[in-house]
Amino acid sequence: MKLCPIEQDCAFTHCDEKYKILPAMEAYETKYCKGSEVAECIRYKLSDKFGKLQVPSNMMPNGLPLPGTHRRDWTTVALQYKRYVENKDG
Ligand code: SF4
Domain edges within the chain: 7-89
Q: For residue 30, which phi and psi values (nearest 5 degrees)?
A: -65, -45
Give the residue whose CA is nearest to atom 6 of ligand 1: 33
For residue 59, the SS3 value is strand
pLDDT tier, 28 (very low <50, low <70, confident <90, very high otherwise): very high
CA of 41 to the centre of ligand 1 (A): 6
pLDDT in tens, 34-75: 988 999 999 999 999 999 999 999 999 999 999 999 999 999
pTM: 0.90
Q: From CA 50, how far away is CA 65, in angstroms rounded?
A: 19
Contacts of 35 (CB under 8 A, 6+ apart): 1, 2
Least confident span in 18-27, 28-37, 50-59, 80-89: 80-89
**Nearest atom, ligand 1, residue 42 CA:** 2
Give the HSE-up count for residue 59: Cα atoms under 13 Å, Cβ half-sphere.
25
